[in-house]
Each structure stands twice: as structure tokens, then as C-alpha cells.
Amino acid sequence: MKAPRPSTLAWLALFALLAWPVFDWAVLQAVWPADLEACRAARGSGACWGVIAEKHRILLFGRYPYDAQWRPVLATVLIVAVLVAGGLRRIRHGWQVGLALALLVAAVVLMRGGAGLARVPTNQWGGLPLTLIVSLGGTLLAFPLALLLALARRSQQPFLRGLATVYIELVRGVPLISLLFMAAFLFPLLLPTHLRIDILPRVVLTIAGFAAAYLAEVIRGGLQAVPAGQFAAAQAIGLTWRQSMQFIVLPQALRVSLPALVNSFIGIFKDSSLISIVSLHELTGAMSIALGGDADWRSFYLEAYLFIALIYWIFCFGLSRCARGLEARLRH
Amino acid sequence: MISRSLHTLLLLGGLLGASLTAPVAHAGKTLDTIKQRGTLQCGVSTGVAGFSLADSQGRWAGFDVDFCRAIAAAVLGDPNKVHFVPLNSQQRFAAIQSGEVDILARNTTWTLNRDGALGLSFTGVTYYDGQGFLVPKKLKVTSAKQLRNAEVCVQSGTTNEKNLAEYFRGIGVKVRPVVFEGFEASFKAFFSGRCQAYTTDISGLAGVRNKEAPNPDDYTILPEVISKEPLGPAVRRGDDEWFAIVRWVPFALIEAEELGITAANVDKIRAENKDPAFTRLLGSGEDTGKNLGLDKDWAYRAIKSVGNYGEIFARNVGPESVLKLPRGLNNLWNKGGILFAPPVR
Amino acid sequence: MVRSARQRLLAFLAQLALAALIACALAWLGQNVLDNMRERGIRAGFDFLVEPAGFDIGEGPLAFEASQPLWRAFLAGTLNTLRVGLPAMLLASALGLLIGLGRLAQHPVPRRICDALVETLRNIPLLLQLLMCYFALASLLPDASHALAPAPGVLLSQSGLFLPAWRCEDSCGWSWPRVDGFGIDGGWALTPEYMAVLIALSLYTAVFIAEIVRGGIQSVSRGQIDAARSIGLRPAQVLRHVVLPLALRAIVPPLGNQYLNLIKNSSLAVAVGYPDLVSVANTSLNQTGRAFECIVIVMAVYLSLSLLTALLVNTFNARVALRGSP
Ligand SMILES: N[C@@H](CCC(=O)N[C@@H](CS)C(=O)NCC(=O)O)C(=O)O
């Protein structure tokens, strides 16, 4: 074995210098049980993970009625199961897609109530299930629109193409926040008084409209990657435009754009944190209701932030691994 | 050819658009909607101690909350048929405009601009307040005039934000506003030391000091009261019947205090007292409810469920509560305050 | 593609129908807006922009106070957006280059550190990072009366970072920050809100830029590098004269996208109370009730900024692309 180079030692020393205080704070000196006195005593020297033990219910589920919180738990499990199955590429056949969608609908019904369960109004939803529902719901709703936009943008009809281009560029040119404010403040003015839509569906629709513009560009990229000869050949054997698209071009285009689609989903998942700005208490917002009103525990914000960040990180990292896997498979 | 087809198109669009346009909602709609829905949608603040605060089980309590419960009792017969929608200062007006809430009971100041330009109508005043400043005692400030170069935390979209600018310009003292969108963010910044002073309505300051401060005794409210902040419920413009109900339920509660009717003695008084002033209010005589589109027991139910104005005040914000606020202006007109209910008849 | 007259007619009719449908939808929505506003007595129009704002804006290059008209508040907000956006672009590019090169380092330790940084930061929402950053600044710094003085003439406290500034009011001269009253007066102030936005925005964008830089450099073929080495250039020279110019061609277009994202992401500033365009618009919206107008202004400004950025990037791109090609 070679002796380590001096530069290696220097690097390791630097690393240790940086990492040691963090390790000391986060593990060695940390307080784990929900013990306020111990946490106060450890202030400045050790982390207070007790704040999570104390507040995990609100952090994870927001203001959802306490006694009914098995419902968001179950809903989260269902959604995560679907995500994992998708990530492991276990959803291939039509019936599996149907089952996945049915599970997602079941998750929403669980949250909302009905079918024998007590109704829980959407403004009491919160935490992780809300993050999942908004980002996944937004993406799924965005997909058909994105497909149409992508096809329209490559269409030979000038009006159609113009329309799609304007929509895509317009939406991509403005920040999501301004669209969310629109959903919160403007949307109600756009509809007649008797048609009232809750803020949650308004926000999900807005996110869908936003995501569609980005997904459309990804799909367009995929369409461009399909050789023109494929379409010509399909037409030559007598398929109509629709058939050629449906059976020949789109399947290939979507396969190519799959990794990028997953990456877009990661983006939307992270962006869903913005809905806390219009007072929907998904993960980020749930944290402020968990600690905001509690003068005792409020000083341990940093630990709560890290906990929430870890949840986001697990999902995003997992998904990005899955995107990378897809990419690697495509190259073969 | 092109211009011709464009013309037809526009015409077609206009026609279809017109035919699709739904008829405008009419007055009286709100009450019907509430009865049909079975719950009152009440917009409250996201958590100001004493006014509207949800506990960890999601049960709401507070001064504003009680007025919503009283209205629910009067209209739906049950003080618990209220759904509370927490709104920050930014969202409150959009929520009432859009019909997301039927009533905004959220320590909101009645101003001409809001009454005129925001599509809502204030129904009256339930709490007479003014704006003040909260400062840490360790700064040893005794007057707002000493706050030179200080940073003042304030919530955006409030009257407080505007008063702050006007007041300090008026007295020629330079301060810097640090403006936050959310209530919680604003006082969190104040308690962490980001600002040297925090400003809002004095009732709000009392809530922030006594409920949110790590140690309330470290903070004090300065003597200056820089504005008039009459706080009261508001409803969406254009529904006079609903407006009248929301205006008269608080009046009935003030009247009840004047007559000495409380939640505890209301049944006894209703059974025994035959004075017309009492029977009218409690529904055992002349029917006052029909003028409002309600039944005759409307006020009885409101009083029975939350008590009279004085009880609501004492329970949530009065000297015995966490906020420890004196009655002051919010006392009856014949007890040194300015609360004055028109005759319930 | 050859298409028959019938097909073309059909296509034309389809487009016509679509146009009609969209026109109808817009007409319906417009009609609703008008009805709703009339019913509730809400006024419309941009005339409110000339009325006095009534609220102060705490910081920014354009001095603003409550008695000035609202349009000026919007202008101050836009300038505040640029005030944090432009420095963030520079910072993000520099950091991105550094981290990108770090990920290509020969040595495993710096490479791992950079890898970890990228994998951590890009998988956590920017909003959360921003809030964390703001909270950390607020809880770590001392209050104004106990301000740190890391260098002469520099003060650092919860009120922000204060630097000496060259000012011309009555006469020109240096303005030194000093503790005065309950805060710090004079000098050039960078508030904690500003610093939090700047730091979070730069770091978050930097990790995406790092990936672009890494990809760009990896796209430079080995042959080019070997050739440069063989004519005796030192590694730094190889990087400076061969690798970076070539990589730039692959880097610039996606870099432009990141700049666009950065400008749009700067709107999150509203979450920590930095008075950027969105925050000013929000306050105005609430004080005047002109939701539609305020949101339209915000979108128009961002759209213009996006177009401008795209234009600049494209121009620059044309130049690098030309210079690099034979
Ligand atoms: N009365 C003032 C201020 C009301 C206000 O928003 N006060 C703050 C501070 S006490 C508040 O209630 N915030 C609670 C929230 O945003 O949920 C107004 O109507 O503009």
C-alpha cells in the first residue's frame, strides 16, 4: 500500500476541521427526546432534535384533524408506493397505469373524506401529503396539455403554432409566484359568483398550467429526436396523422424525453414549496404553523428546517437517481 | 376575405360569450347559500392571541371567533357550524371578494378606502383600537419619538404599514420599516432582534407580547397611540340582507350587556321577565327576526351560545385573560365607553 | 409535404373553430371580471399608479417614501429585483465555475466535497434554503448596538452589513457607518434580507451552473488537451487558453437558461421581506384592491427582463460560437 500523499492529508485535515463541529453539534451533543429544558441547556452546543419529536405531527400533516391523521398517513403511503413503483419501472402495462391512477385517486379521497369518511375541508390539509398531491396532481394534469402544446408547436398550422408558442414562452417568462398570486387573487374574479373554487384546486390547476409549458418543451425535444423518416414511413404504409403519432412517433419521443420529464417533476416537487406563500400549509408552510405559534419551541427553527430539508432531499435525490438510471438505459 | 371572416369570428365569439355569461348574483344570496351549505365560512387571522387562535386540535377561540359563532348561532342555530378560514393581511380582502368566506372577522380596520374600493362593506365596529409600538425594555425607550434610526417590523398590507410611514415623517424622525408578508415571520424577526420595535394595533401588540414573547416582562408597549383603528366585521358588497344580519348580531350582544343578560341568566330572564325591551330581544315577545330574514329567537341563541359583549370581551381579551386589556373605549356608552347599540325593535 | 385543397380547407376551418373557441372563452372570462367588479364596486384602470403610495420602502437604490406615487414604488421594486439579481448572476457564475472545476479535480477529497455540495443544494427547494439562510443570519449576528467591526469602517449586525460609501449630497465625501440612535446610520447598507436572498440565490444557481460547466468541459475532446500540453503549455494555461474557450460554446446556451431562472427565482425574496418587485406589487395590490393591474405589471416586467436576458445571452452566444468555429 502506498503512503498517502501529503496533499491528501491536508485535504482530510480540512475536511475534518469542517465536518467535526457539525458532527459534534448534530450527534454527540444533540438532545433527542422532546425535553424543553434539556434543549434549552444544549442551546448553541448541540442540536435539539426533540423539537421534531414534539412537533412531528404538525410538521408532517399540518392542521389536519388530529384524530383523523391515520388518513394522511395512509394517503402518503399510497402515493409513495406509486412513486416507488414508477421509479423502479414496475408500471409498464395499461392495467398497472390504471391501478396507479386509482391509488392516487384513493389517496385524495382519503384526505378529502366522503365514502363514509368525515369531510375534511382542503384548507385543513397540510404537510407531506399536500406536497405530494400538489406536485403529482399538478404534473399529471399538466401532461395532456403539455402533449397538445408540444404537438401544436411543431404543427404546420400557423395559428396553432403561434398560440402554443405564445403560451409556452409567456408562462416560462414569468415566475411561478406571480401565477400563484393570480390563482389566489385574480382567479375568483374570472368566474361568476356562483362558481366558487377552493384555493387548493385553483393552485393545483395553476401549477398544472405552469408545468405544462415546461413539459411541452421537454416533449418537443423528444419529438425532434425522432428521425423524420419514421413519420414518413408511417404515412407511407397508410397510417393517418393521428395513428402515426400515436403508435410510431410519440412512443419513441416520450421514451427519449423520460429522464428530462422526471427532472421536470423534481423541479415541480421543489416548486410546490411556493404554495406556502399563498397560505397552503404543505411541508414548508406546516413548519411555520408548527413553530410559529409556540414561543417555547420557536427558537429551534434550524432543526425543523433541517428535518424538512431532509424529507425534500430524500424524494428529490431518489427521483434524480431514477432519472439517471433511465438515461443510462436509453444510451444502450 | 380575411377581414370578413375575422368579423364573423368576432361576432360569433361575442354572441357565444354573451350567451354563456351567467346571470349576476342577487342580493339575499349569501344567507341562502349559508343555509344550504349548513356552515358559516368565517375569515379570521392566522393566529392572533385573544382574537383568533387555533389549538393543536384545530379548535378556534378568540374575540373574532366568538362573533362568528354568535352569527352562526343566530343564522344556523348552532355556534359550532362555523368553518374558520385563516387569512393573513394580504389575503383577507381577496377572500371576501371571491366569496371564499361569508364574513371577515379579522381585526380589520374600517377605512374609507377599504369600504369604497375593495368591494366590501364594514358592518360596524366590534373593537375600538389604535396603533402602538412594542419594544424590548432593555432599550430603555420611553417614547416612540426616541426611535431614531430604529428598524420597525410591520406586516404588509395593513393600515399599520401606512400609519408608520406617516407618523414618523410627521414628527421628523427617521426609521426604517422591515415589512413582512406573514404575521409569524414579522414577530419572529422582532423577537430575534432584527427590529428594535414592532408595530400594529395595540390589541395585537398585547397578544404578541403576552403570548409569543419568550418572556413577556422583557417587553413593553410605548404610550403613543398613533392612529384610530376601529376593528369590525366586513361582508362582500352587494347583499343588503346579509349585511344587516352581520351588523345586528353584534348590536344584539351589546344590547344584552346593557340589559344585564348573560349566557348564564338568559333562560331565566326569558322565562320570567315580561318587559318588552327584554321580550323583543329574546324572542319571547314581538318578532324582531323577521326583519332580518331570521326567526324570532336569533338573538337569544347568539347570547346563549357566546354570552353578551362584556362576557366575550372578558373571556378573550379582558383584564382576566392573557391579553389583560382594559375595557377603555370598548365599554358601554353609559359606563364611560363608546359602545352604543341602536334600539333592537 | 403535399396536401390536397380539401385537407387545407379542413385545417383552416379547424383553426378557425379553435380561434372562435378561444375568443369565446376570453370573452366569457372578461365579462365575468366586469360583472364581478361592477357588482362589488371595484374600480379598474391604471390611474391608481399616480396616486401616493402611502407606504415606505425600506431599502434600495431609488430612494422612496410614502408620499411619492405608486409607479415610482413599482420602479423602486424593479430596481431592487435587479439589485439582487445582477450580483447574484456574477456570484453564481464564479461559484459555479469553481464547483464545476472542483468536481473534475484529480484529487478525490475536493471532488467529493463538491459532489456532496451539488447533490445537497440542488435537491432542496430554494425557498427552504432562503428561509434557513435568513434565519441563520438573524440568529447568529449581534444586534445593532453591539455591531461587529470586521474591518475599519465596516459594521456587521442584525441590521445588516454596512460599508463606507461615497456620497454627494451638499458636498461630496465618504459617508462612514456609525451606531446612532437605535440603529446604524450612514454608509452603504446591505440588509440581512438582501444578503439572505443574494447568498441563497447564488448558491442554488451555482450548483446548476457547476453541472453545466462540468458538462461543457467534459465535452472538450482529449485530443485538444493533449495537443495543448504537448506544445508545452502549463495546466493553468491549457485551462485558460484551450479548455475554457472551447467549453464556453457548450456552456453559454444552458447558462442563459440558468440566468433566466435566477431572475425569476429572485421573486422568492418576498418570503423574507426584501422589497423586490413582487413584494411591492403585493403591498400595492392590498392597499388599492387593483389585483388585476398589479399582477399584469409584475408579469410584464418579468417578461421584459426574461426577453432582455435571452437577447443578451443570444448575442453573446453568437460571438463565442463565431470565434470558436474555424
Ligand atoms: N388593523 C390593521 C392590522 C390588522 C393586522 O393584520 N394585524 C396583524 C398583526 S396583529 C395581524 O392580525 N396579523 C395576523 C395574520 O396575518 O394572520 C388592518 O386592518 O390593516
The answer to whether residues B244 and B124 belong to one domain is yes
Q: Which residues are CB-neighbours of A69 under 8 A, at least 6 positions away?
A: A57, A61
User: What 3-state DSSP class applies to C154?
Assistant: strand
pLDDT at C6 over 90: no
Does one domain contain both B101 and B187? no
Residue A186 carries which DSSP code? I
Average pLDDT, chain A: 88
Q: Is B318 inside a domain boundary?
A: yes
Shortest-distance atom of ligand 1 to CA B186: 9
Interface contacts A/C by beta carbons within 8 Å: 127
**pLDDT at residue B141 is higher than 60:** yes
Q: Supply A245's cell numbers.
A: 403519432
CA distance to A23, B15, B260, B262, C133, per residue, from B12 (Å): 70, 5, 66, 64, 55
| C67 in B contact zone (CB under 8 Å) | yes
Contact between B139 and B248 under an 8 Å Cβ cutoff? The reply is: no
Q: Does B111 touch chain C (CB under 8 A)?
A: no
Whether B63 has a pLDDT exceeding 90, the answer reads yes
Minimal CA separation from A296 to chain B, in Å: 7
Residue B168 is assigned to a structural domain of this protein: yes
Contacts of residue B275, defined as CB under 8 A and 6 or more positions apart, other chains included, come to none
Cα(B336) to centroid of ligand 1, in Å? Answer: 27
> Domains in chain B: how many in total?
2
Rounded to the nearest whole angstrom, what is the distance from the C-alpha of residue B107 to the centroid of ligand 1? 6
- The yes-or-no verdict on residue B106 having pLDDT over 70 is yes
> Which cell numbers hold the place of B305?
351560545
What are the tens digits of pLDDT across the range C65-79? 888 999 999 999 999
How large a percentage of chain A has pLDDT more than 70?
A: 98
| Interface contact A65-B185, CB threshold 8 A | no
Alpha carbon distance, N-terminus to C-terminus of chain A: 37
Residue of B158, B191, B227 with the most ligand 1 atoms within 8 Å of its CB, for mutation: B158
Question: Which of A305-309, B136-140, B217-221, C1-5 has the weakest average pLDDT?
Answer: C1-5
Q: What's the confidence (pLDDT) of residue C322?
A: 53
Q: φ, ψ for residue A93 (rounded to 5)?
A: -90, 165
Name the percent of chain C in helix, strand, coil, to the closest 5: 70, 10, 20
Indicate if the pLDDT at residue A139 is higher than 90. Answer: yes
Among B199, B227, B255, give the residue marking a domain's end.
Answer: B227
Is the CB of B108 within 6 Å of ligand 1? yes
The answer to whether residues B70 and B35 belong to one domain is yes
pLDDT at C323: 54
- Residue C181 has its nearest CB partner, among B9, B149, B177, at B149
pLDDT: is A87 or C313 the higher one?
Answer: C313
pLDDT over 90 (residue C127)? yes
> Both B242 and B264 in a single domain?
yes
**H or E element: which one contains C17?**
helix C5-40
Q: How far apart are CA C233 and CA C226, in angstroms?
A: 10
Check whether residue B61 and residue B209 sit in a common domain.
Answer: no
Task: Please report which confidence band the pLDDT of residue B18 belongs to, taking 50, 70 and 90 as the band edges.
Answer: very low
Q: Are residues B212 and B147 in the same domain?
A: yes
Helix (H) or strand (E) holding C168: strand C165-168
Per-residue pLDDT at B56: 66
Any idea where the domains of chain A sit in the sequence? Answer: 47-64+120-331
pLDDT over 90 for what percent of chain A? 43
Please work out whether the CB of residue B183 comes within 6 Å of at least one atom of ligand 1: yes
Over chain B, what is the mean pLDDT?
Answer: 89
Ligand 1 center to C282 CA (angstroms): 15
Range of the domain at B50: 28-128+231-335
The residue nearest atom 16 of ligand 1, judged by CA position, is B88
Interfacial C residues in 41-70 facing A (CB < 8 Å): none
Q: What is the 3-state secondary structure (H, E, C) of chain B?
A: CHHHHHHHHHHHHHHHHHHHCCCCCCCCHHHHHHHHHCCEEEEEECCECCCEEECCCCCEECHHHHHHHHHHHHHHCCCCCEEEEEECCCCHHHHHHHCCCCEECCCCECCHHHHHHCCEEECCCCEEECEEEEEEHHHCCCCHHHCCCCEEEEECCCHHHHHHHHHHHHCCCCCEEEEECCHHHHHHHHHCCCCCEEEEEHHHHHHHHHHHCCCHHHEEECCCCCCCEEECCEEECCCHHHHHHHHHHHHHHHHHHHHCCCCCCHHHHHHHCCCHHHHHHHCCCCCCHHHHCCCCCHHHHHHHHHCCHHHHHHHHCCCCCCCCCCCHHHCEHHHCCCECCCCCC
B163's CB contacts (< 8 A; 6+ apart) are B131, B226, B227
Ligand 1: nearest atom to the Cα of B203 = 10
* Rounded (10°) angle between helices C192-218 and C108-121: 120
Pairs of CB atoms within 8 A across B/C = 163
CA of A254 to the centre of ligand 1 (A): 50
Residue where a domain terminates, one of B179, B199, B227: B227
Residues in chain C within 8 Å Cβ distance of B196: 144, 182-183
- Same domain flag for B119 and B236: yes
> Within 10 Å of residue C43's Cβ, how many Cβ atoms?
14
pLDDT in tens, C51-60: 999 898 988 8
C68 close to B (CB below 8 A)? no
CATH code of B311's domain: 3.40.190.10
Confidence of residue B266 (pLDDT cuts 50, 70, 90): very high
What percent of chain B lies above the pLDDT cut of 90? 72
**Res B23: pLDDT:** 36
Q: How far C251 CA lies from chain B's nearest CA (Å)?
A: 38
- Whether the predicted pLDDT of A54 surpasses 50: yes
Query: Do B118 and B253 sit in the same domain of this protein?
Result: yes
Query: Is A143 a residue whose pLDDT tops 80?
Result: yes
Name the band, by pLDDT with cuts 50, 70 and 90, for residue B28. Answer: low
A289-331 tens-digit pLDDT: 888 777 788 888 889 999 999 999 999 999 999 888 888 887 7
Contact (Cβ atoms closer than 8 angstroms) between residue B316 and residue B52: no
Residues 122-181 in C contacting A (C-alpha not used; CB under 8 Å) = 122-129, 131-132, 135-136, 139
Cross-chain residue pair C127–A312, CB shorter than 8 Å = no
SS3 of C260, please? Answer: helix
| Architecture per CATH, A47-64+120-331 | Orthogonal Bundle (1.10)
Residues contacting A102, CB < 8 A, separation 6+: none
In this structure, are B191 and B328 located in the same domain?
A: no
Bigger pLDDT: B187 vs C6: B187
Q: Which residues contact B60 (CB under 8 A, 6 or more apart)?
A: B44, B52, B53, B54, B84
Mean pLDDT score of chain C: 88
Same domain for B112 and B155: no
Q: Band the pLDDT of A3: cuts 50, 70, 90.
A: low
Nearest CA among A156, C12, C6, C21 for reference residue B5: C12
Q: What pLDDT is recorded for position B39?
A: 92
**Residue where a domain terminates, one of B161, B196, B227:** B227
How would residue A2 be classed by pLDDT, with cut points 50, 70 and 90? low
pLDDT band at C15 (very low <50, low <70, confident <90, very high): confident
| A153: enclosing H helix or E strand | helix A127-153
ipTM: 0.91
Contact status of A261 with chain B (Cβ, < 8 Å): no
pLDDT confidence of residue B9: 39
> From the alpha carbon of B158, which atom of ligand 1 is closest?
20
Of residues A124, A194, A288, nearest to B25 (C-beta): A194
Residue A107: pLDDT band with limits 50, 70, 90: very high
What is d(CA A8, CA A12) in angstroms, rounded to the nearest whole number?
6
Q: Which residues of C touch A266 (CB under 8 A)?
A: 123
CB proximity C226 to B under 8 Å: no
CB contact under 8 A, B99 and A188: yes
* B344 in a structural domain: no
Q: What is the mean pLDDT of residues C194-218?
A: 94
State yes or no: pLDDT of B3 exceeds 50. Answer: no
The chains in contact with chain B, meaning 3 or more Cβ pairs closer than 8 Å, are A, C
In this predicted model, which residue has the larger pLDDT, C167 or A129? A129
Residue C35: list chain B partners with CB under 8 A.
Answer: 21, 24
Report yes or no on B78 lying in a domain: yes
Mean pLDDT for the stretch of residues B215-236: 96
Quick check: helix, strand or coil at residue C231? coil
Domains of chain C, start order: 78-324 (1.10.3720.10)
| Residue B111 Cα: closest atom of ligand 1 | 19
Is residue B340 domain-resident?
no
Q: What is the pLDDT of residue C3?
A: 63
Minimum Cα–Cα distance from C9: chain A residue: A157
Contact check, Cβ <8 Å, B97/A189: yes
Are B324 and B241 members of one domain?
yes
Say if ligand 1 is within 6 A of residue B163 CB.
no
Tell how far the Cα of A179 is from the centroid of ligand 1, in angstroms.
25
Find the B71 Cα to ligand 1 centroid distance in Å. Answer: 22
Q: Which of A197-206, A274-283, B4-13, C203-212 has the lowest mean pLDDT?
A: B4-13
Residues B211, B302: one domain? no
Q: Which tens digits make up the pLDDT trace of A243-299?
A: 888 888 888 888 888 888 998 999 999 999 999 888 888 999 898 888 877 778 888
Tell me the per-residue pLDDT of B316-333, one tens digit each, with 9 for 90 and over.
999 999 999 999 999 999
* Per-residue three-class SS string for A82-129: HHHHHHCCCCCCHHHHHHHHHHHHHHHHHHHCECCECCCCHHHCCHHH
Q: What is the pLDDT of residues A215-243, one digit of tens each?
A: 999 999 899 888 888 888 998 888 888 88
C88 touches C208 (CB < 8 A): no
